[in-house]
Structure 1
């Protein structure tokens, strides 16, 4: 498995959780449960991805700008999650912000899969892609236990 295949697994989970989240209503147990799972997935993924993919990408001139852009988008996602945490579940603003989060994350994932992965694929050798997948998966596992 390459680092890109490992990352796509989390991307698929993020898409699934976001789709479920924007279908929830009001101050409900499903909204609370799904939002909690999504927050954890986003945070764990971003931290592990930055270590396993973006730090190695920053070592190459051809991938450095894309890596920095992606890390900046992680911060934008964090800010929207914080905004959701500060908003009452029953507020109409909550769902509006959740839909903004869905749009931002979906855009970010598509950009990674269609642009970042291809560029990084050219900069990183095959052995590195496999080693980084192992590092990413180990980091995700450690974060999930924490």
Structure 2
């Protein structure tokens, strides 16, 4: 598992579900509400998991990818985007399903989320691929998916975060527990003996019979 691949796959799922809503029968309000609820949970749990597990490690290792000025600016923008998405999601909840107000809020959520995903893929994920070890990317993915699996059934309460306070609070040069575990995994892999190149017993027997 690789956290950058996990995030990409979930981005694809979000895009697919917004497309599903666009094609859903407008008079099936019960169906619209059900599809939206699933998407709402996916959006918020994904955002919270990024803020808990991905962005702190990006702040520690990143330098700013693509057109980002710095890793701080990169992450601040991402948290701002999450807040915009949360605001649109709240407006969806306040409107009658299928109404003009509801659809306007859904479209706003789609616009903000699409902008966020494009920037994150271009900057954050590229930055992390270039800086993080495969072991760290795996460990973050495990923690990220574990958190999501525990919360996907019911969802979580969206909570905005101040982007500057978030970056200031999360940025550190000290390796996290996840990073330390990844380092141990890498050390263990490096000291593991090579796989034996000797033929198996079955192969030897087959050779003798020939």
Q: What TM-score, normalized to structure 2? A: 0.64
- Structure 2: any 5+ residue segments left out of the alignment? 64-70, 155-210
Across the aligned residues of Structure 1 and Structure 2, the Cα RMSD in angstroms comes to 1.7
Q: Which has the larger radius of gyration?
A: 2
CA gap of 1:61–1:13, structure 2 versus 1, over 3 A, is closer
How far residue 106 of structure 1 moved from its aligned partner, in angstroms, is 1.4
CA gap of 1:145–1:101, structure 2 versus 1, over 3 A, is closer
Partner Cα separation in structure 1 for residue 14 and residue 8 of structure 2: 10
1:1-146 to structure 2, matched below 5 A, reads 1-24=1-24, 25=26, 28-60=29-61, 62=63, 63-145=71-153
How many residues are aligned here? Answer: 146
Say which is worse superposed, 13-22 or 74-83, in terms of deviation.
13-22
Partner Cα separation in structure 2 for residue 125 and residue 68 of structure 1: 23
Which is helix-richer, 1 or 2? 1
How far residue 142 of structure 1 moved from its aligned partner, in angstroms, is 1.4
How far residue 145 of structure 1 moved from its aligned partner, in angstroms, is 4.5
How far residue 93 of structure 1 moved from its aligned partner, in angstroms, is 2.2
Partner Cα separation in structure 2 for residue 91 and residue 144 of structure 1: 27
Partner Cα separation in structure 2 for residue 69 and residue 122 of structure 1: 20
How far residue 97 of structure 1 moved from its aligned partner, in angstroms, is 2.0
Say which is worse superposed, 89-98 or 10-19, in terms of deviation.
89-98
Asked if structure 1 preserves the Cα contact closer than 8 Å seen for 2:62 and 2:131, the reply is no
- Structure 1: any 5+ residue segments left out of the alignment? none
Partner Cα separation in structure 1 for residue 112 and residue 132 of structure 2: 27
Q: What TM-score, normalized to structure 1? A: 0.90
